[in-house]
């Protein structure tokens, strides 16, 4: 439910109303725009007397929200959310590029890739330490040691770091991680999402392998319900009958989600396609349809990569993608 507040109302009046609503076991989200202030009410709103609320002097209108996702809903929060990842902003016109290897493999590898990615205009460094692999016999990542190497790369380059969490028990290891990734396979790991909701860390929530946009937004809602609203959605392709590509990149999700939600949306063409030559055209298309950022896998020697080499770009290829993407961005902005 949302209550649209009249113009010219004082902060004290808003606070009074907030206390009154909170005393009815509702949580109140305030969204102050340039012209409109909206109060979003979450919880069991069935007992709320709409007429009573609407007749209050400071309330313009009350509306029920029919979608099951509330906090993530644009009706609650008409302005774009801008997520600040240790100084790098994403959303609301701020574009960010997350780049780096699928997995952290060694100190030399991560530092070399980090430096090259930064030189080309990448803004956040990715690298998997805990890897969700289909086979238990495949490389599982350097785990805690991988996180240490990412921190060294951060010290060397100043780039904030992004890496995947698979188990809430590992949260203490992630204190210096700037943006915590929830991978596709864990999008509906609700216990993990609830734990992340208790932190104030920015979260990159990837779309599940076969999940609808509504299910994805409900997963964001799990994190937001705990009080953490710093969420970036990441489209990474969904399972279809197609086999030439690893997944099918659902670019329609970008404008659709931006209409439904205020959260930033980034696109990962690497996991979507699984083939390095498709990364450039899909990255350009993602920017053209309004994505707030990209996630791209870059490896100093893709042929020798321990994970996802076929979809990884060389630093030179990444540099070329950045140049093309920047051009598209200029056109889109006009
Ligand atoms: C990744 O980003 O390394 C990854 C495993 O991606 P996804 O969860 O989208 O498969
Ligand atoms: Mn990967």
Q: What is the pLDDT of residue 94?
A: 97
pLDDT at res. 34: 82
Nearest to 174 by CA among 208, 154, 142, 144: 144
Give the atom of ligand 1 at the shortest distance from the alpha carbon of 185. 8
User: pLDDT truncated to tens, each residue of the chain (334 aa)?
Assistant: 999 999 999 999 999 999 999 999 999 999 988 888 999 999 889 888 999 999 999 999 999 998 999 999 999 999 999 999 999 999 999 999 999 999 999 999 999 999 999 999 999 999 999 999 999 999 999 999 999 999 999 999 999 999 999 999 999 999 999 999 999 999 999 999 999 999 999 999 999 999 999 999 999 999 999 999 999 999 999 999 999 999 999 999 999 999 999 999 999 999 999 999 999 999 999 999 999 999 999 999 999 999 999 999 999 999 999 999 999 999 998 7
- The residue whose CA has the least distance to atom 10 of ligand 1 is 184
Bridge partners, 31 (sequence order):
38
Contact 246, 238 (CB under 8 A): no
Distance 175 CA to ligand 2 centre (A): 22
Helices assigned H by DSSP within the chain = 11-22, 50-54, 107-119, 144-157, 190-197, 213-225, 253-260, 269-273, 279-288, 315-333
Pocket test for ligand 1, best of 105, 271, 308 (most atoms within 8 A of CB): 271
Q: What is the CA radius of gyration of the chain?
A: 21
Here the tokens at position 242 are: 């197609």
Return the pLDDT at 33.
83
**168 alpha carbon – ligand 1 mean position (Å):** 17
Nearest by Cα to 164 from 205, 109, 110: 205
Helix-strand-coil percent breakdown of the chain, rounded to 5? 40, 20, 40
Residue 79 CB partners (closer than 8 Å, separation 6+): 31, 33, 92, 262
> Which residue is closest in CA terms to ligand 1's atom 6?
183
Whole-prediction pTM: 0.96
Which residues approach ligand 1 with their CB closer than 6 A?
Answer: 102, 128, 132, 183-185, 206, 236, 271
């Amino acid at each position: 439910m949302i209550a649209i507040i009249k113009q010219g109302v004082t902060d004290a009046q808003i606070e009074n109303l907030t206390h009154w609503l909170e005393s009815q076991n509702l949580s109140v989200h305030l969204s102050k725009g340039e012209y409109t202030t909206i109060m979003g009410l979450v919880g069991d709103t069935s007992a709320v007397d709409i007429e009573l609320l609407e007749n209050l002097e400071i309330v313009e209108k009350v509306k029920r929200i029919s979608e099951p996702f509330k906090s993530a809903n644009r009706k609650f929060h008409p302005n774009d959310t801008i997520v600040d990842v240790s100084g790098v902003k994403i959303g609301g016109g701020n574009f960010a590029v997350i780049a780096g290897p699928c997995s952290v493999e060694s100190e030399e590898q991560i530092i070399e890739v980090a430096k090259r990615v930064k030189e080309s205009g990448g803004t956040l460094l990715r690298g998997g330490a805990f890897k969700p692999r289909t086979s238990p016999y495949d490389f599982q990542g350097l785990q805690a040691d991988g996180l240490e190497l990412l921190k060294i790369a951060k010290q060397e380059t100043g780039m904030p770091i992004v890496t995947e969490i698979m188990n809430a028990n590992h949260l203490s290891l992630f204190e210096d991680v700037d943006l915590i990734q929830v991978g596709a396979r864990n999008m509906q790991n609700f216990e993990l999402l609830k734990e992340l909701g208790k932190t104030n860390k920015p979260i990159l929530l990837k779309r599940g392998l076969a999940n609808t946009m509504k299910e994805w937004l409900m997963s964001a809602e799990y994190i937001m319900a705990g009080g953490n609203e710093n969420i970036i959605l990441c489209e990474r392709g969904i399972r279809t009958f197609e086999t030439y590509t690893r997944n099918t990149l659902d670019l329609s999700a970008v404008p659709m989600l931006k209409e439904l939600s205020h959260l930033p949306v980034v696109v990962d063409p690497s996991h979507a396609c699984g083939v390095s030559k498709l990364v450039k055209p899909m990255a350009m298309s993602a920017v053209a349809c309004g994505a707030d950022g990209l996630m791209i896998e870059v490896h100093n020697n893709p042929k020798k990569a321990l994970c996802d080499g076929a979809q990884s770009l060389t630093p030179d290829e990444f540099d070329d993608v950045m140049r093309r993407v920047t051009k598209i961005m200029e056109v889109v902005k006009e």
